[in-house]
Structure 1
Amino acid sequence: MAMETSDPLFPVRQTTLCLDIQGNKTDIIVSSYEDHFLVIVTQIGSMGTILHARKEEGVSIDPTFNVAVVFGKRDEPMLAACARKLIEHISNSGSSKALVLSLGLRDHSMGTLKGIVSAVIEKLF
């Protein structure tokens, strides 16, 4: 269930969600800053791998996206794919904000990552 938790006087809008993904309790927090979205997804109660994703501005008609691991697991391409799907959705929705994504997961399966992307897109954006 998504719920708005921001104090109306606080300038950062924050939304939280707790759901079951592939049998694991998953907490999702989305904070919307002026120039970034911060999305924290955890099944372990801590931040985990942190990725930064942004749309590259250029002369090409087709958009290019840059995804980098800030720290954490660099050998898991599915985590980068999760960030890429989210930044593509953010960009396609008309926003130019970058994404900072934290994934603290017990289960790194494709099903879990698809569930996370779906939950963030459908319930929070």
Structure 2
Amino acid sequence: MESSVQHFPVTHKECSVVIKGNKTDMVISGYDDHFLVIATQIGSMGTILHARFSMMYSAFVARKDESLSIHPTFNVSVIFGKRDEPMLVACARQLIEHISTSGSSKPLVLSLGLQDHSSETLRGVVSAVTANRVW
């Protein structure tokens, strides 16, 4: 009898890093329609955020010249968890900006189960995710 090893059908990376003395486990996955990033120091999902990128078009008319300008917009919302933590929203925004500048327009679902929400911790998360990105 032959055995076949099936690989997980979703592109993903797993890593562990130490951020401010706390072991941080991460899973970064690229689905057909979303990216999923889970970063936890507490062994659970924590706050879950959704971030997306879109282009906003605006026309500018000045005398006889007419131009069209394109402005990127980023929308971040908390799905579950702490809604009063602006640093978590900032982390999701930084990650969706990284995703969009690399040419992808897929939205991001981000789960952050962290010991603290300091800027240093969140910079460490962004750094580790971008170093192990799947986009």
When the two structures are superposed, what TM-score results if normalisation uses the length of structure 2? 0.83
Name the one with the larger strand percent. Answer: 2
| Residue among 65, 75, 85 paired with 2:74 | 65
The residue number in structure 2 matching 1:116 is 125
The residue number in structure 2 matching 1:31 is 29
The residue number in structure 2 matching 1:44 is 42
Give 1:108 deviation, angstroms: 1.0
The structure with the largest alpha-carbon Rg is: 2
- 1: CA distance, partners of 2:55 / 2:7: 33
Is 1:84 the counterpart of 2:80? The answer is no
Q: Which runs of 5+ in 2 are unaligned?
A: 59-69
**Runs of 4 or more off by more than 6 Å in structure 1?**
none
| Residue among 106, 110, 114 paired with 2:115 | 106
What letter corresponds to residue 104 of structure 2 in structure 1? S
Superposition CA RMSD, Å: 1.4
- 2: CA distance, partners of 1:30 / 1:19: 13
What letter corresponds to residue 10 of structure 1 in structure 2? F
- 1: CA distance, partners of 2:44 / 2:108: 18
Identity %: 66
What letter corresponds to residue 38 of structure 1 in structure 2? L
When the two structures are superposed, what TM-score results if normalisation uses the length of structure 1? 0.90
- 1: CA distance, partners of 2:15 / 2:88: 20
Give 1:13 deviation, angstroms: 1.0
